[in-house]
Amino acid sequence: MHRCFASPEHWSGERVHLDAGEAHHLARVLRLASGDTVEVFDGAGRHARAVIVCASGRTGMELRLVEPPTAADPPLVDLLLIQAVPKADRMDWIIEKAVELGVAAIQPVYTDRTVRRGEAQGAERRRERWARIAREAAKQCGAFRIPDVRTGVKYETALPDGAHCELFVVGALGPGRRPIGAVADEAASRGLRSAALLIGPEGDLTSDELRRAEEAGAVPVTFGRQVLRVETAAVFGVSVLMSAWLTRDWAGGAARQAQGTDGRAPSPDP
């Protein structure tokens, strides 16, 4: 079933309004017509099946829900990716993969070693493009939540956001680092529900930047013996963190199933 996005304010009772971009894609690209069924989601967890009422696609499109909206399960962990903006279009790729892996928010940052091109002038334009990439990635991978893609800021501005999370880790190449998997497993076992991952630029964070991150509560972690490219480090770090909570949740579910729904061992068959 084809998926489409409508922001929460465009839901009203059993009617949902799609903007011109979504309408054009359904009507002109996918060639859907009135009466066809689609899945619509609002990016905040709500989703439902709907039928197309009007398929002109010029100024928008009206949908009618054919079932009550369903709320997706809450995320196992709210993960904030604080990402130093890399060169070329690699940030686009990082955002796409971060959405597929289930991050809650993405905060681009500009560090001392970040290549800057019109940082202030094009900030909002870049944010809008990254938000579109996140929305399309969510549609394609079946996600019901779209991460909060924020406007790029200076490095030090983003550190308090990481400090507010229950777990804050920073990828680092120097000494005194802990394996990210061990740190993630400990956090998941303690039942923490929010985490932040800071990924530096090519050439790593400067010693002063790393010091400031540690002062904000960040734990320096290693991703292994090899030096990873920025985009590889981001995907690896997010994957390890998410996997720790997923494994913990799966183990808990398996244990509950083995004991029975009331927490007691199931009775033997008569």
- 240, 195 in Cβ contact below 8 A? no
Three-state DSSP at 14 gives coil
Residues 157, 34 share a domain: no
Is residue 268 in some structural domain?
Answer: no
Residues 241, 140 share a domain: yes
pLDDT of residue 56: 64
pLDDT of residue 87: 86
Percent of the chain with pLDDT over 70: 89
CATH code where residue 23 lies: 2.40.240.20
Q: What is the pLDDT of residues 217-251, one digit of tens each?
A: 999 999 998 999 999 999 999 999 999 999 988 87
10-34 average pLDDT score: 92
Residues 91, 123 share a domain: yes
74-82 average pLDDT score: 96
pLDDT of residue 257: 67
Is the confidence at residue 267, as pLDDT, over 60? no
Domain boundary among 23, 46, 71: 71
Residues 40, 83 share a domain: no
Beta strands in 55-191 (DSSP E): 61-65, 70-71, 78-84, 105-110, 148-149, 153-154, 167-171, 178-179
Residues 55, 91 share a domain: no
Q: Please give the Cα distance from 95 to 106 (Å, whole number).
A: 8
- 170, 159 in Cβ contact below 8 A? no
Residues 165, 103 share a domain: yes
Residues 62, 82 share a domain: no
Three-state DSSP at 174 gives coil
Element (H, E) at 126: helix 123-141
pLDDT of residue 149: 97
Q: Please give the Cα distance from 139 to 235 (Å, whole number).
A: 19
Q: What is the pLDDT of residues 192-222, one digit of tens each?
A: 999 999 999 998 999 999 999 999 999 999 9
Is the confidence at residue 51, as pLDDT, over 90? yes
Is residue 260 in some structural domain?
Answer: no
Q: What is the pLDDT of residues 86-127, one digit of tens each?
A: 987 899 999 999 999 999 999 999 999 886 655 656 888 899
Please choose, from the candidates 221, 216, 165, the residue with its C-alpha nearest in 3D space to the C-alpha of residue 193: 165
Domain that holds residue 211: 78-253
Question: What is the signed CA dihedral for 251, 253, 257, 262, rounded to 10 degrees?
Answer: 120
CA distances from 259 to 90, 191, 251 (A): 47, 21, 12
Domain count, the chain: 2
Residues 186, 98 share a domain: yes
Q: Please give the Cα distance from 179 to 244 (Å, whole number).
A: 13
Is residue 265 in some structural domain?
Answer: no
Whole-prediction pTM: 0.89
Domain boundary among 51, 71, 91: 71
Residues 234, 157 share a domain: yes
pLDDT of residue 1: 83
Q: What is the pLDDT of residues 91-102, one digit of tens each?
A: 999 999 999 999
Lowest mean pLDDT among 23-37, 73-87, 159-173: 23-37
Three-state DSSP at 18 gives strand
Q: Please give the Cα distance from 189 to 193 (Å, whole number).
A: 11
pLDDT of residue 238: 98
Q: What is the pLDDT of residues 174-187, one digit of tens each?
A: 888 999 999 999 99
Element (H, E) at 127: helix 123-141
- CB burial of 189-219 (b: ≥16 within 10 Å; e: otherwise) equals eeebebbbbbbbbeebbeeebbeebeebbbb
